[in-house]
Each structure stands twice: as C-alpha cells, then as structure tokens.
Amino acid sequence: MLRLLSAVIALLAPWGPAEAQQLRDLFRKVSPSVVVVRTLERELAPEPSRGLVNIPGLGSGVLISADGKVLTAAHVIQVAERVGVKFKDGKVYPAHVVGSSARADVALVQLDRLPTSVSPAPLADSDSLQVGDEVVVIGAPYGFGHSLTVGHVSGKLMIEGLVSGVPMEVIQTDAAINVGNSGGPMFNLEGEVVGIVSSILTQSGGFEGVGFAVPTNVARKVLLTGGSFWSGMDGFLLQDSLAQVFNLPQRAGVLVQQVAAGSPAAALGLRAGTWRATIGGEQLLLGGDIILSVAGIEIKPKGASLDDMRNLLGKLRPGDSVKVRVLRGGKVVLLTAVKPGR
C-alpha cells in the first residue's frame, strides 16, 4: 500500500510545478492590462451638519482596447466626480466614464491620455465557460494592486429579467474576491477576459467562497454594442408600498440618492438626497427628486422600463435634448437638458 501511494504521488507531483509555471506565465502575460481604478466622489457626511465630504473610492479594471477603453464595475464609478486609472508601473492616468449599466454592474471608462505603450486584454466568448473550468482573478483587494487568486467556475446563474435586451447571467466562482476586486478581470487559462468581478455573498464582510462576475458577453452587448450612456446618478426604485408612502402619482419612481458633479444628471438639474432615513428596512437619502419619466417613458415597477430609457439615452447625439419629469417638493417639475459634444 505504501509503495502504491508513493507511486501515485510520483505520478501526480509533476503537475504541481507545471501548473505553477502556467500561472506565472499567465500573470506576466495579462498583468499589464490590469489596472487599479481610483475615484473621488462627494457624499453626505454621517453627521448632517458637515454637509458633503470627499470620499475616495477603490476598484479594479482591465484595459480592453488600444485606444484606452477600460472595463470595470458600475458601482465603482457610478457617482464618481474624478476617475484615475493606475497601471502596473505605478503611473496614474486621468479618465472619464462613457457608459455604465447599474443593473448589469458593468461600466466603460475612457483614458484621457494613453501610456506610451498599451497591452489590452482580449475578450473571450464567455458562453464557452463550463462549470469546473479554472479561472484566475487579478485585481486590487484592499488596495493591494495586481493580486492574483485562482479558482473555478462554480456555477452559471440566470437572473430574472433582461438588461438592454440581453438575458442577465452571472458567473459564480470560488476564486477569492474582496473589497477592491470589484471591476477586475476574470481570466481563463488562455489569458482572455471571461468576466468582470461584481460582488460576493458574505456574512462576515469578507470572502466566504461565493463570488460573482458578469460574463464578458453581457458586458460586450450592454456597453460595446450600440450606444453607451452614463447618468452620473445613483437612485432607488420606489414601488408598491413605498410608492404609496412617497405619494407618487404613478405606480413607481426613482428616488435620486447621489448626483456626480459634471455628470449628465447634474447638467439636467437633478437634486440629490440631503438627509438619511430608514424606511421599510432600507437605508435611504431623502429630500431629492423622484424621477417619474424620461423622454416620455414612465418609470414602471421592477425596473421594467429602465432598459428602454437607457437604450434611448445611449442613442442621443450631441445637441439632442431630453426631458425628464420629476416629483420635487410635492409638485411635478419638467427638466430639460441638451447632450453636449465631447
């Protein structure tokens, strides 16, 4: 029995170093495309008397094109007033958001200035992923840039509803994911991006073996096919009993939580929440506008109309105007903005 066990160990032993070498080669190959995304946003202070304060943010991302496009998570940049992209050499380049989908939790950032040399990562056909496939996540957990973790595809889960007409799927993985990994790339062993890290399920606040990424096919269809749009606003969908509590004149509306300075939402004149409250178990910022319709499309329960709005806004050209109806101080107000050129 001992000789048999020794023989088995001898047969299996070469696979360890070979796999380690493969991971080293993979890391060297893809690491130049992985970035740290640093943001600055204005947020209501815990003590209302202090007003708005600057809050630094941290996430990860991946360069996907030679002209400086970076994929990341929507929640990393959604209300960012400044965005900086840090490469492996430590240099930080200013950038701006060109598109995001809060429902899919993916966003597209454009570098304002390119490094002297770029090494974009290719996007894979994420539909080819199978449960059990080995995957690699590279990002900046807790700010530790270019940190690598390895795991497997634990599941491929379908989420109810569509995002921009695309069935919403997420990749479940046991590769370690923590704060700062959001927006970072998930690679297959060929060095192709198969997903963008989104979230974890946790009781402790740290990683507990269940993480999720948005497949690249979803990100591609939502952000890279057709028009991209970024509102610069964070909102909360009011529906059912909450719609009645806020005395909405319709079945649903979006309560504005935060608005980034210089964003389309700010140009429109949307007002953000100004004081904190807990209603129905939800932590909300109250006092801001409640969006009722965008370009004639009414907000509906379960976000059924949000994709239609995003698609319409993504097709706007410089000079086009958009009208938004909001409930402000108990009165319906019509806001109008013109899309600027960039």
What average pLDDT does this structure show over 45-52? 72
Per the model's pLDDT, the better-predicted residue between 83 and 339 turns out to be 83
Per-residue pLDDT reduced to its tens digit, 121-172: 999 999 999 999 999 999 999 999 899 999 999 999 887 655 655 677 899 9
Q: 71 and 167 in one domain? A: no
User: 20 pLDDT band (50/70/90 cuts)?
Assistant: confident
Active site residue 33: no
Per the domain annotation, does 92 fall within a domain? yes
Q: 329 and 245 in one domain? A: yes
DSSP code for 201:
-
* Catalytic, out of 101, 154, 182, 228: 182
Q: 260 and 180 in one domain? A: no
Q: 153 and 238 in one domain? A: no
* Catalytic, out of 33, 60, 75, 174: 75
Report d(CA 121, CA 186) in Å as an integer: 11
Per the domain annotation, does 100 fall within a domain? yes
Per-residue pLDDT reduced to its tens digit, 83-98: 999 999 999 999 999 9
User: 281 pLDDT band (50/70/90 cuts)?
Assistant: confident
**Exposure string over 153-175, b if 16+ CB within 10 A, otherwise e:** bbeeeeeeeebbebebbbbbbbb
pLDDT of 294 strictly over 90: yes
Per the domain annotation, does 73 fall within a domain? yes
Report d(CA 220, CA 163) in Å as an integer: 12
pLDDT of 81 strictly over 90: yes
Token pair for residue 181? 């990994």
Helices (H), the chain: 2-12, 15-30, 74-77, 216-219, 241-245, 264-268, 306-314
Q: How many domains does the chain have?
A: 3
147-163 and 106-111 as β-strands: parallel, antiparallel, unpaired?
unpaired
Q: 78 and 44 in one domain? A: yes
Q: In the prediction, which pLDDT does 159 show?
A: 78
Report d(CA 288, CA 329) in Å as an integer: 9
Per-residue pLDDT reduced to its tens digit, 221-275: 889 886 678 999 999 999 999 999 999 999 999 999 999 999 999 999 999 999 8
Q: 291 and 247 in one domain? A: yes
Q: 322 and 277 in one domain? A: yes
Q: In the prediction, which pLDDT does 147 show?
A: 95
Per the domain annotation, does 304 fall within a domain? yes
pLDDT of 13 strictly over 50: no
Per the domain annotation, does 121 fall within a domain? no
Q: 243 and 311 in one domain? A: yes
Per the domain annotation, does 189 fall within a domain? yes
| pTM score of the predicted model | 0.87
DSSP string of 275-331, one letter each residue: EEEEETTEEEEESS-EEEEETTEEP-GGGTTHHHHHHHHHT--TT-EEEEEEEETTE
Q: 143 and 97 in one domain? A: no
Give which of 239, 217, 223, 228 is closest to 291, Cα–Cα.
239
Q: 148 and 194 in one domain? A: yes
Q: In the prediction, which pLDDT does 9 show?
A: 40
Per the model's pLDDT, the better-predicted residue between 297 and 16 turns out to be 297
Question: What are the CA-CA distances from residue 219 to residues 46, 69, 155, 337 (Å)?
Answer: 34, 13, 18, 28
Per the domain annotation, does 14 fall within a domain? no
Final residue belonging to a domain, choices 220, 250, 275: 220
Active site residue 182: yes
Active site residue 75: yes
Q: 36 and 104 in one domain? A: yes
Per the domain annotation, does 23 fall within a domain? no
Final residue belonging to a domain, choices 198, 220, 242: 220
Q: What's the domain range around 161?
A: 126-220
Final residue belonging to a domain, choices 170, 186, 220: 220
Average pLDDT, the chain: 88
* Catalytic, out of 60, 101, 105, 147: 105
Q: 247 and 281 in one domain? A: yes
Least confident of 185-199, 206-220, 300-314: 300-314
CATH number at residue 281: 2.30.42.10
Q: In the prediction, which pLDDT does 230 show?
A: 92
Q: In the prediction, which pLDDT does 8 show?
A: 37
CATH number at residue 52: 2.40.10.10
Q: In the prediction, which pLDDT does 304 show?
A: 72
User: 1 pLDDT band (50/70/90 cuts)?
Assistant: very low
